[in-house]
Homo-oligomer: A and B are copies of this chain.
Amino acid sequence: MHDMADGNGPVDSEDLDALPPIESELEPGEPQDPPLPDLQIPEPGRTLSAVSIRVGPDADFVDLLVRLREAGADVVSVNSFPATRGEANVDRVLDVEFRDLDGTIAAAAVRDAPGVVVAEARATLGQIFGKRVIIIGGGAQVAQVSLGAVSESDRHNLRGERISVDTIALVGEKNIANTVRAVADLPRAHILVLAGSIMGGEITEAVKEIQAAGIPVISLNQVGSVVEVADLVVTDPVQAGTMAVMAIADTARFSLDRARGRRF
């Protein structure tokens, strides 16, 4: 994974016979929508790295973070897992992602800390899985939006991007509203598609809240007030998924700002 350590994401040159073309809705030179700022997505010229630390009971979570910080890391994410590999003296795995420090240096900075059994540099989840399209709604429609989004993301990932398509099938106004709100807390979520047939009430309020946090929302054309607040309303679920990917792809020139409020 060391080819990803520059934070610019991997490009598999075997699969790129030509320069990546840009899909265009905008005129050349016309500014695109500014991307959602995201500490966990690679940026050119900025180091983004991760370290996986396998620890025993003597390890001090906070001590490890202090050591990383003293080495220069700006920690952006921590995830803790139970040890499942059966390694001696390991009961937890801590994955820490940070900016401004190389992963190999970070691993060396924590390797001698009490309780640390193994510390090694890793690619970050943002380098591997990239920006996320989130699809919420009913099973049949989520599946069709996902089909469009997965197919379109394939085309962009072939050109060196990393876009993943993540879904949850749910029922009930309150359940869906709570889930929409939680999209703002979901790492690397850059756009939401609401794949339902009737969504309004508390869901509409939740949509406004996540739009205020910078996450655009595409809605299928449907009954309920959600279509009145969505950034874009699309009738065909496959096209809704496709447009969601185009809206966040660096290799597409599709402006939600220019399409905002239109129905397709």
B158 x A171 contact (CB < 8 A): yes
* A175 interface neighbour in B10, B95, B178, B182, Cβ under 8 Å: B10
Given A85-B213, A168-B162, do A80 and B39 touch, yes or no (CB 8 Å)? yes
Q: Is A52 an interface residue (CB 8 A)?
A: yes
> Which of B75, B158, B168 contacts A164 (CB under 8 A)?
B168
The smallest beta-carbon distance between A55 and chain B, in angstroms, is 13
What B residues does A40 contact at CB under 8 A? 79
Instruction: Judge if A76 is at the interface, Cβ distance under 8 Å.
Output: yes
A36 at the interface (CB under 8 A from B): yes
Q: Which residues of A from 65 to 97 have beta carbons under 8 Å from B?
A: 65-66, 69, 75-82, 84-85, 95
Known: A186-B125, A187-B79. A166 touches B165 (CB 8 A): yes
Flag whether A221 is at the interface (Cβ < 8 A).
no
With A65-B61, A185-B95, A213-B84 in contact, is A12–B151 under 8 Å at CB? Answer: no
Complex-state Cα separation, A14 to B65, whole angstroms? 45
Chain A, interface size: which category?
35 or more
Residues of B within 8 A of A85 (CB): 212-214
Closest CB in chain B relative to A76 CB, distance in Å: 5
Inter-chain contacts of A75 with B (CB < 8 A): 61, 78, 80
User: A95 to chain B: which residues have CB within 8 Å?
Assistant: 185
Asked if residues A128 and B182 are in contact (CB atoms below 8 Å), the reply is yes
A170 partner residues in chain B, CB cutoff 8 A? 157
Residues of chain B within 8 A (CB-CB) of A48 are none
Contacts of A164 in B (CB 8 A): 166-168
B146 and A151 contacting across the interface, CB-CB below 8 Å: no
A76-B80 contact in complex given A166-B167, A175-B12, C-beta closer than 8 Å: yes
A232 at the interface (CB under 8 A from B): no
A1 located at the interface, meaning its Cβ lies under 8 Å from any Cβ of chain B in the complex:
yes
Smallest CB-CB separation from A182: which chain B residue? B128
Q: Does A117 contact B (CB under 8 A)?
A: no
Quick check: is A18 within 8 A (CB to CB) of the other chain? no
B76, A129: Cβ atoms under 8 Å? Answer: no
* Partner of A125 from B1, B76, B185 at Cβ < 8 Å: B185
For residue A147, CB closer than 8 A to chain B, the reply is: yes
**Which of B4, B65, B150 makes the CB contact (< 8 A) with A143?**
B150
- Chain A 25-80 interface residues, beta-carbon cutoff 8 Å to B: 36-40, 50, 52, 61-62, 65-66, 69, 75-80
11 contacts between A and B (CB under 8 A): A10-B178, A12-B172, A39-B80, A61-B69, A125-B186, A138-B154, A146-B146, A146-B150, A154-B169, A166-B167, A167-B167
